[in-house]
A = this chain, B = another copy of it.
């Protein structure tokens, strides 16, 4: 029989010419793939490469279809392997085997998503949250006593912050830690069901200790949320210690290698010295002291360590989007469907206009998110290394993380879904990775700060900064008012725009030329981001002099705009980072192609928000039409380089692990076409029922 055996589904094989320099030339330019990979991998390229090298080993990979107990056990074992071999303690002090390298540590951590997102998040719980809380909120005695076992995973630990009744609103957690001077102990207590700690990694099964966040009460005063070290399970038996109980969170939409669970405390007594007391301490007599006088500032300082989770999720989301695009673009370059202009030749998917429209803007946005992440990671390292650890620096970092984490995690989900659909039924098979990765990434948009809540935080910061600017300089107010008036005049008197429309209509080519210019894109994006803040500030101004309920209603009425304002800010940040990133590309052909990609990103944003630009008189109808037609031109220009642009992510087949991206599809298509060519050549092919002229 002529049916061939199934092609190898060994996920490690590839037919792609990666790293060979055999890249597609079009429009007289081509991508220097290895050089672009260096740029993509950024400041920590070497650390990322060594992490990726480690994760080419299948002992770190997710095994699809494992039962929950098998998967959990595997991930715990992998975690301990990483503790021994994985260079995962870089963020910790040298005396604990680390390197005080915060940025580098996160860079490596972000690459873990290629192995198994469950392993990434379990590592994040153990080292990024649990051990990190001991490091940042505890003092030397805690470090010496608790860090070694936390780092080695001899003590798997939970980070017990979230409660069933309080997710993003940490200030309102209801668990109490009441100091008893008689015994010099804190009494931890869960007053009602909604105050159970919930969704905690390591709490469902493996954790033997936890850092518990609770309202610290001493001498009748609540000093706000503090962190306490609490042993929770007998390591030998796995049973909860007396007074402690909980539940397994059970099956989840993804990340089932992690044992999320719930915890409650029934008057559990812990020594006074198990308060992690860097930012607040209780003396034996019950008196409270803190180096930070303001309870509000103290709370935000203690929560400051959380930012590293957001930073790393931003980076992991970018990596997940890269994997998705690697799969869909590779498949889209091999897969043929429906006859084209020549009836004997089926069309490659990426040669369909809609397929390009679906995937290439996502590719552009993934590059943008990658460059923005490198910027965020540098800012993070500047603060955490101490080089720029000022209050302003921390605030800036938090705002940056709160802006980028939602943007990139939502982008990752959109991208993985678009890639899965672009691969049709094959995309739905687990062997092609996309559905599994999307399921695991799903929760990234609501944990470590719900995306909507984070955008709102950004919106508030933007308003505060705006108020500061205005407050500081009367000249600025005057200028802003003048601009405001100009806006209003434009809005009420569209005759001026009318003229512009007429002019534009006469010169579409010049208009496209302008859109290609960096300064035009910047002006359009920045103008929108800044105007939205100013308008929001204007709309909320009456709240200052209103009763709380009136003010709350006003804020509520503008919550949607506040969130859209934050999104506009985040998109501008991404575009600016992408634009700065272009400077790092030395090869002129590569820079040309990646500049087209940046243009595609910028123009896609402008097209997405076109109604705003038209409504606010920033673009005439004529120029607006040019945006879409220029996007179409860019898609055609970029199409020949699409494979090189995903190859430049530098992912090995061992990171991608999708049968359809292994070259198998290309082989199947080639075999089919070869058979058809042979049939035609043989002269024995059956003729169609109605052949022309027959």
Which A residues are closer than 8 A to B by beta carbons? 1-4, 6-7, 64-65, 67-68, 162, 164-169, 172, 174, 178, 189-196, 198-199, 215, 217, 220-224, 245, 247, 249-254, 264, 266-267, 288, 295, 336-342, 346, 351-354, 357, 413, 417, 420-421, 424-431, 434-436, 438-439, 442-443, 445-447, 450-452, 456, 491-492, 494-495, 497-498, 501-502, 505, 548-549, 551-553, 556-560, 563, 607, 610-611, 614-617, 621, 624-625, 632, 668-669, 671-672, 675, 686-690
Are B167 and A337 in contact (CB-based, < 8 A)? Answer: yes
Copies in the complex: 2
A3-B192, A192-B671, A425-B447 known; 5 new pairs, CB 8 Å cut-off, are: A4-B193, A172-B346, A224-B688, A357-B560, A413-B417
Nearest CB of B to A298, in Å? 9
Q: Which residues of B contact A337 (CB under 8 A)?
A: 166-169
Q: How far is the CB of A116 from chain B (nearest CB, A)?
A: 15
Which residue from B3, B491, B501, B553 sits with its C-beta under 8 Å from A266? B3
A549 CA / B351 CA spacing, docked (Å): 13
A189 CA / B1 CA spacing, docked (Å): 9
- Residue in contact with A421 in the complex, picked from B64, B174, B445, B548, CB distance below 8 Å: B445
- For the complex, give the distance between the alpha carbons of A563 and B527 in Å: 32
Asked if B442 and A420 make an inter-chain contact with CB atoms under 8 angstroms apart, the answer reads yes
Task: Establish whether residues A687 and B221, one from each chain, have CB atoms under 8 Å apart when the complex forms.
Answer: yes
Is A491 touching B447 in the complex (CB atoms < 8 A)? no
Contact check, B430 vs A253: say whether CB atoms are below 8 A apart. yes
A253 to B438, CA, bound (A): 9
Residue of B nearest to A413 (CB): B417
The answer to whether A446 and B430 have CB atoms under 8 Å apart is no
Contacts of A426 in B (CB 8 A): 164
Q: Is the Cβ of B67 less than 8 Å from the Cβ of A67? A: yes
28 contacts between A and B (CB under 8 A): A3-B264, A3-B266, A7-B193, A164-B426, A172-B339, A192-B671, A192-B672, A193-B671, A193-B672, A194-B668, A194-B671, A194-B672, A221-B686, A222-B687, A252-B428, A253-B429, A342-B549, A353-B556, A353-B559, A357-B560, A420-B442, A498-B498, A560-B632, A611-B624, A614-B614, A614-B621, A615-B624, A616-B621
Q: Are A193 and B3 in contact (CB under 8 A)?
A: yes
Q: Which residues of B contact A675 (CB under 8 A)?
A: 191-192
* Residue of B174, B221, B253, B353 touching A560 (CB-CB under 8 A): B353
Indicate if the CB atoms of A252 and B430 lie closer than 8 Å: yes
Q: When the two chains form the complex, which single residue of B162, B195, B429 contacts A672, counting CB atoms closer than 8 Å?
A: B195
Greatest chain B CB density within 10 A among A3, A65, A168 is at A3
Q: How far is the CA of A207 from the CA of B264 in the complex (A)?
A: 50
